[in-house]
C-alpha cells in the first residue's frame, strides 16, 4: 500500500504546492480541517475529535457516512466488474433506472440518463430542453446554483460561481421568490409577473424551458413560495418550454414531507436532475425525463464515459433501499422539525439571527446586524462558523452575503444529536457575545 502522510503541515504543503488554484480556493475555515473517518452522522478529524456532521460533505452523504449496506453493494460490484461502459449491457444500472423511475409521479413515461455530477446533469437537461422544443431561450433563478461546467455555470445565478468568460447565451435570470430578502417579499404574484415580463421583453417569446431548485441550496436555503413553481410551470409551458427541477440538494427524502421536494408543490416536471446524495459519496448523477422529451436526443451520441457505471449504480440502489428500510424520509421529517424548533428558540434568544427557514433536513439561519434593516452580518456569521467547529459541529456558510448557516445533515441524524446540536449552537452564540 501507499504511504500516506497524515500530518497537518504535510497535507497543507502538498495541497498548496500541487493543487491548482481552482481546486485550492474553496477553504471554509481559517485553519485546515482534516477529516479521517466518518460513520453515520459523525466525522472524526485526524486527532480523533468527533463532530456532528450538519453538512454531509456538501449534501452527498444521504444515508450516513460509510453505511455498511452501501459499502457492501459497492464492494461486491467492484470485486466482480468495477466498470462497464454504456455501450455494453449490464443489469445493475438498468435495475437502478427502473427503481428511480418508481419514485417519480405515476402516470408518466419516465426514462433515465446516468452521469457523474450535478453539473453534467444540468447541462444535459438544458440540451434536452432546447433539442425537444427547438427553442433557445431558457429561464433560471437569481440565487440558483446548478454547477460549474459552462452550461451549469450559465444557469447559476450567483456571481461568485460565474467566471469572467462568455457564458452561454439565451439564458435569462428572473427574481427568486425569497420570502425574507426577495425584491417582492413573500407575495407570489409579482414574481410570476416578472416571468411574463421577461418572456415578453428579453426572449423571442418562445422558451426552451426553466430550471428551479425547490429549495435553493447554495443560495442560502431559500424555499420556493407556495404556488410559485406551479405558476412558473404554467407560464413556461404557455411559452412552449419544458420545466426542469433541480433536486440535487433537496431530493431523496431530505425535505421529510416528500421524497422529491417538487411533489410538495403539486407539480409534475418534465425533467428532474439529481446527484450528490444519490450515491452517498460515490460519484453519480442522473437526469430523469419524460420519454418524449428525452427522445429528442435519439439521433446523436451523448456519451459520458462513466455514465451508468455499475459500481456507482450499485451504491445508488443501496441508497434507495436504506432510505426505505431505515425510514429515513420520516426521520428527516421528525428530526428536521425538532431542529427547526431549536433554531426558532435560538432566534428568540439572539437578535443577530434574523431568519430561520427550511424544511426537513434542509435548514438555515440567516444572521443580520439589525432585524429591521436586515443588513447581513457577514463577519458575525464567519465567527459563529469558526466557533461551531470548536463546539463539534460542521456547518456550512452560504447565501449571497455569506451570512447564512446552512444545515443539511445525513438523513440518519437522531433526536439525541439534536440535543447536542442545541447546546453547541447556543454556546456559539453566547461566545459570540
Rg over CA atoms, the chain: 21
∠ CA(280), CA(286), CA(292), 5° rounding? 155
The site map against ligand PLP for 170-209 (x = CB under 6 A) is: ----------------------------------------
Helix axes 415-432, 378-390, angle to 10 degrees: 130
Task: Decide if residue 246 touches ligand PLP (CB under 6 A).
Answer: yes
| Closest distance of CB 38 from ligand PLP, Å | 19
How far, in Å, CA of 399 to CA of 166, rounded? 24
Considering only 55, 92, 115, 119, the residue that binds ligand PLP (CB under 6 A) is: 119
Question: Judged by CB, which is closer to ligand PLP: 213, or 258?
Answer: 213
Question: Judged by CB, which is closer to ligand PLP: 64, or 251?
Answer: 251
The number of residues that bind ligand PLP (CB under 6 A) is 14
Give, in order, the Cα–Cα distances in Å from 234 to each of 189, 195, 277, 411: 13, 11, 29, 33
The site map against ligand PLP for 128-147 (x = CB under 6 A) is: -----------------xxx
Chain centroid to CA 84? 28
Considering only 182, 217, 269, 360, the residue that binds ligand PLP (CB under 6 A) is: 217
Residue numbers 255-284 binding ligand PLP by CB under 6 A: 275
| Closest distance of CB 8 from ligand PLP, Å | 27
Task: Decide if residue 213 touches ligand PLP (CB under 6 A).
Answer: yes
Question: Judged by CB, which is closer to ligand PLP: 119, or 346?
Answer: 119
Question: Judged by CB, which is closer to ligand PLP: 122, or 346?
Answer: 122
Q: Are 354 and 401 in contact (CB under 8 A)?
A: no
| Closest distance of CB 201 from ligand PLP, Å | 27
How far, in Å, CA of 399 to CA of 376, rounded? 10
Considering only 135, 249, 255, 381, the residue that binds ligand PLP (CB under 6 A) is: 249
DSSP state of 177: -
Task: Decide if residue 251 touches ligand PLP (CB under 6 A).
Answer: no
The enclosing H or E element of 125 equals: helix 118-133
| Piece in contact with ligand PLP (CB under 6 A), picked from 5-13, 112-120, 310-318, 374-382 | 112-120
Q: Are 427 and 389 in contact (CB under 8 A)?
A: no
Question: Judged by CB, which is closer to ligand PLP: 42, or 218?
Answer: 218
How far, in Å, CA of 45 to CA of 39, rounded? 12
Task: Decide if residue 220 touches ligand PLP (CB under 6 A).
Answer: no
Q: Coil, strand or helix: which one is 45?
A: strand
How far, in Å, CA of 277 to CA of 272, rounded? 14
Task: Decide if residue 114 touches ligand PLP (CB under 6 A).
Answer: no
| Closest distance of CB 31 from ligand PLP, Å | 24
List, as one string, the DSSP characters of 145-170.
Answer: ---SSHHHHHH---GGG--SS---SS
Task: Decide if residue 118 touches ligand PLP (CB under 6 A).
Answer: yes
**How far apart are the two ends of the chain, measured CA to CA in Å?**
49
Question: Judged by CB, which is closer to ligand PLP: 119, or 384?
Answer: 119
Q: Are 312 and 284 in contact (CB under 8 A)?
A: yes
Lookup: cell for 427: 454556546
Considering only 110, 114, 191, 218, the residue that binds ligand PLP (CB under 6 A) is: 218
Helices marked H in 173-278 — which ranges?
188-202, 228-238
| Closest distance of CB 346 from ligand PLP, Å | 25
Give the burial class of 47: count Cβ atoms within 10 A of its Cβ; 0-12 exposed, 13-18 middle, 19 or more buried.
exposed
Considering only 122, 278, 286, 367, the residue that binds ligand PLP (CB under 6 A) is: 122
Task: Decide if residue 117 touches ligand PLP (CB under 6 A).
Answer: yes
Question: Judged by CB, which is closer to ligand PLP: 146, or 235?
Answer: 146
| Closest distance of CB 168 from ligand PLP, Å | 16
**Cβ-closest position to ligand PLP:** 118
Residues of this chain that bind ligand PLP (CB under 6 A) = 117-119, 122, 145-147, 213, 217-218, 246, 248-249, 275
Amino acid at each position: 500500500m501507499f504511504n500516506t502522510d497524515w500530518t497537518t503541515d504535510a497535507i497543507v504543503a502538498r495541497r498548496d504546492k500541487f493543487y491548482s488554484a481552482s481546486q485550492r480556493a474553496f477553504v471554509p475555515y481559517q485553519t485546515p480541517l482534516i477529516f479521517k473517518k466518518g460513520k453515520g452522522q459523525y466525522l472524526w478529524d485526524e486527532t480523533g475529535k468527533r463532530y456532528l456532521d450538519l453538512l454531509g460533505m456538501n449534501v452527498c452523504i444521504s444515508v450516513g457516512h460509510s453505511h455498511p449496506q452501501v459499502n457492501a453493494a459497492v464492494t461486491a460490484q467492484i470485486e466482480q466488474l468495477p466498470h462497464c461502459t454504456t455501450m455494453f449491457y449490464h443489469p445493475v444500472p438498468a435495475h437502478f433506472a427502473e427503481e428511480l423511475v418508481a419514485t417519480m409521479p405515476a402516470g408518466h413515461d419516465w426514462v433515465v440518463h446516468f452521469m457523474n455530477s450535478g453539473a453534467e446533469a444540468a447541462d444535459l437537461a438544458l440540451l434536452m430542453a432546447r433539442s425537444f422544443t427547438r427553442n433557445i431561450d431558457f429561464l433560471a433563478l437569481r440565487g440558483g446554483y446548478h454547477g460549474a461546467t459552462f452550461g451549469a455555470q450559465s444557469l447559476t445565478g450567483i456571481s461568485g460561481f460565474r467566471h469572467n468568460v462568455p457564458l452561454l447565451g439565451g439564458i435569462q435570470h428572473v427574481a427568486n421568490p425569497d420570502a425574507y430578502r426577495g425584491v417582492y417579499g413573500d407575495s407570489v404574484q409579482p414574481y410570476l409577473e416578472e416571468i411574463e415580463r421577461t418572456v415578453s421583453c428579453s426572449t423571442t417569446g418562445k422558451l426552451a424551458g426553466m430550471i428551479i431548485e425547490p429549495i435553493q441550496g447554495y443560495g442560502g436555503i431559500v424555499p420556493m413560495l407556495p404556488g410559485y413553481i406551479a405558476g412558473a410551470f404554467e407560464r413556461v409551458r404557455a411559452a412552449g418550454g419544458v420545466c426542469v427541477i433541480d433536486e440535487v440538494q433537496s431530493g431523496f427524502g431530505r425535505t421529510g414531507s416528500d421524497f422529491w421536494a417538487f411533489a410538495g408543490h403539486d407539480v409534475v416536471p418534465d425533467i428532474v436532475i439529481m446527484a450528490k446524495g444519490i450515491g452517498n459519496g460515490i460519484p453519480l448523477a442522473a437526469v430523469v425525463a419524460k420519454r418524449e422529451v428525452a427522445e429528442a436526443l435519439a439521433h446523436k451520441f451523448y456519451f459520458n464515459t462513466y455514465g451508468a457505471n455499475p459500481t456507482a449504480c450499485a451504491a445508488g440502489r443501496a441508497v434507495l433501499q436504506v432510505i426505505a428500510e431505515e425510514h429515513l424520509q420520516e426521520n428527516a421529517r421528525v428530526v428536521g422539525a425538532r431542529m427547526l424548533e431549536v433554531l426558532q428558540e435560538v432566534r428568540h434568544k439572539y437578535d443577530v439571527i434574523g431568519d430561520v427557514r427550511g424544511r426537513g433536513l434542509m435548514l438555515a439561519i440567516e444572521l443580520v446586524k439589525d432585524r429591521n434593516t436586515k443588513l447581513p452580518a457577514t463577519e458575525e456569521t464567519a465567527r459563529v462558523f469558526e466557533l461551531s467547529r470548536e463546539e463539534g459541529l460542521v456547518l456550512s456558510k452560504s447565501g449571497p452575503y455569506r451570512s447564512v448557516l446552512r444545515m443539511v445533515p445525513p438523513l440518519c441524524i437522531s433526536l439525541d444529536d439534536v440535543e447536542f446540536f442545541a447546546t453547541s449552537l447556543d454556546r456559539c452564540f453566547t461566545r459570540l457575545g
